[in-house]
Structure 1
Amino acid sequence: MRIFVTGATGFVGFAIVQELLGAGHKVLGLARSDAGAALLKAAGVEVHHGSVEDLDSLRSGASASDGVIHTAFNHDFSKYKEACELDRCAIEALGAGLAGSDHPLIVTSAMGILPKGLLGTEETAPVSGAHAHPRAATEEAVDVVAARGVNVSVVRLPPSVHGDGDHGFVPILIGIARQKGACAYLGDGTNRWPAVHRLDAAHLYRLVLEKGSAGARYHAVAEEGIPLRDIASAIGRRLNVPIVSKARDEAAQHFTWFADFAALDVPASSTRTQELLGWRPRQPGLIADLEHGRYFET
């Protein structure tokens, strides 16, 4: 199949591109810059110039393909709500490009939209109403597109998608620990982050493309819930800085804008995903990756 991948040059997206190519698929990759286009061309990918802000480019890329995997997202957390609303528009544009076909659209969502403190499953609905997470806009858009007859499904990613080249939540914690001279967690540190290696996640996207069902939610979860205290301890040991607990009223001072993410407690299961698709995570876990990866190179 010829698959249109948004976010094709990103940490997760490029791993998906390589997974698809290795399985014999052709890839049309969205690129917003000359550097991104060169990276994709070197990998053997056909380039589609555009961006998630250019809705016409999304529609045309989708309509020219046999399926779409949407991983692009603007991770400027100073404009997080705007980024989530942009994702809503992007999903609706991709759906419009696939209208009238049965070609699959696979949308990336996030575990953070699920109820806190409970083991989330693929059937767990996002929190709605006044307490809804801004990223819930993603799955709201999925429901709108599905109601229009598009063959759309969702892959929910955990707070930590790890591996070489990671520039997400764990590197942010490492940066804060370096800056503050201590690695912190909140309270007793038992709030949990699920995790997955980027290569395991990429393999799941391909399985969803080839074997998934319209309307389904899938969980890219290899580890259901790692206590933040364990993550902080691994970071503290590698940086040789104190590992400390911070009270809730100290969180904003230590973590600044990242405080809400540091407090996330969203354990999640992938049991149903594994049963339905035969997905089996095989890469190292997060703590092992922290011990042996390149997270602490400067």
Structure 2
Amino acid sequence: MRVFVTGASGWIGSAVVPELIAAGHQVVGLARSDAAAEAVGAAGAEVRRGTLADLDVLRSAADASDGVIHLAFQHDLAFSGHFEAAAEANRLAVEAFGEVLAGSDRPLSLASGTLGLAPGRVAVEGDGLGPNAPGAGGGLGIRHETARATIALASRGVRSSVVGLAPTIHGEGDQGFMATLVAIARDKGVAGYIGDGSQRWPATHRLDAARLFRLALEKAPAGSALHGVAEEGVPLRTVAEAIGRHLGVPVASVDPQDAAEHFTWLAGFLSADSPASSVHTRELLGWHPTHPGLVEDLDKGHYFA
């Protein structure tokens, strides 16, 4: 297939591109900067310059492709206090893809998330994606609507799928949640967890996530809800213990009332108990994660170099 990949130079995209090429696919990667273009080209993909705001570029690239993997999200905009604007840009991009893929039975796979989908229980594929799913406000609500709209494209002749990713996609080079937790522990001199630390976080190695996107592209049925979850839920106290062990700092509970001061913007995420299952995904696509789990990956030491 000729596959158009947004976010091709990003944390997950930079693993998806070689995964696709190794499987014999031709990849066209969206690049918004010279650095991104250089990285995409070095990985063996064709470069398409543009951003998520360039809807004509997105339509043209999708129309010239046999399928689309949409990984990009304007995180810089979101984390600068404009999450709703970033979510809206993402919605418009999916809408643009749907316009040109409709009636073609070509695949469109959207990266989404599992965090907070089913408070109080293990989230399963399809949670939050049904027509009667509870609504949310602001940018999060827009992201949920975008995922539901992607699933609904199946009725318009698009082989659509939504891959709900674990909040922690880990591996060497990660600059996300785990790297931030390590930085906070190093700065504070303590590896903290909130309350009793029983909050469970799903986790997936990025190379396993990359393989799932390839499988979704190749064989996910239209309207598939998938979970990119290798570990259903790693207790955050266990994560803190691994961080403390490697940094040589004490491990301690942080009172929920003090969490925002200690963990800053990460506090809300760390407070959530959000286990998620991928049983259906594994059965449907034959996806079997083979790379190290989160604690094993932490024990490799690269987060602390």
Q: TM-score range by the shorter chain?
A: over 0.9
Q: Which among 134, 145, 162 is matched to residue 154 of structure 1?
A: 162
Structure-2 separation of matches of 1:174 and 1:79:
26
Q: Which among 109, 112, 134 is matched to residue 106 of structure 1?
A: 109
Q: Which among 113, 128, 135 is matched to residue 134 of structure 2?
A: 128
Structure-1 separation of matches of 2:93 and 2:68:
12
Q: Which runs of 4+ in 1 moved over 6 A?
A: none
What is the aligned partner in structure 2 of residue 68 from structure 1?
Answer: 68
Matched residue SS, 1:122: coil
Check conservation: 1:8, 1:17, Cα contact below 8 A: yes
Give TM-score, length-normalised by structure 1: 0.94
- Spell out, residue by residue over 1:244-268, the C-alpha distance to the aligned partner (whole angstroms, 9 max, x if none): 1112211111111111111121101
Check conservation: 2:150, 2:160, Cα contact below 8 A: yes
- Spell out, residue by residue over 1:212-270, the C-alpha distance to the aligned partner (whole angstroms, 9 max, x if none): 11101111111100011111111111111221111221111111111111112110111
Structure-2 separation of matches of 1:131 and 1:265:
20
CA gap of 1:279–1:44, structure 2 versus 1, over 3 A, is same
CA RMSD of aligned residues (A): 1.7
Matched residue SS, 1:106: strand
Q: Which among 292, 296, 304 is matched to residue 284 of structure 1?
A: 292
- Spell out, residue by residue over 1:160-196, the C-alpha distance to the aligned partner (whole angstroms, 9 max, x if none): 1001111111111111112222121111110110011
Displacement of 1:52: 1.3
What is the aligned partner in structure 1 of residue 265 from structure 2?
Answer: 257
Give TM-score, length-normalised by structure 2: 0.92
What is the aligned partner in structure 2 of residue 17 from structure 1?
Answer: 17
Unaligned stretches of 5+ residues in structure 1: none
Matched residue SS, 2:274: coil
**Matching of residue 216 in structure 1 with residue 224 in structure 2:** yes
Amino acid in structure 1 at the alignment position of 2:282: Q
Amino acid in structure 2 at the alignment position of 1:171: A
Check conservation: 1:61, 1:97, Cα contact below 8 A: no
What is the aligned partner in structure 2 of residue 191 from structure 1?
Answer: 199
Matched residue SS, 1:185: strand
Matched residue SS, 1:11: coil
Structure-2 separation of matches of 1:147 and 1:89:
19
Q: Which among 98, 104, 107 is matched to residue 95 of structure 1?
A: 98
What is the aligned partner in structure 2 of residue 45 from structure 1?
Answer: 45
Structure-1 separation of matches of 2:70 and 2:116:
18
Displacement of 1:293: 4.0
Displacement of 1:85: 2.1
Check conservation: 1:87, 1:137, Cα contact below 8 A: no
Displacement of 1:131: 6.8
Displacement of 1:7: 0.3
Unaligned stretches of 5+ residues in structure 2: none
Check conservation: 1:158, 1:195, Cα contact below 8 A: yes
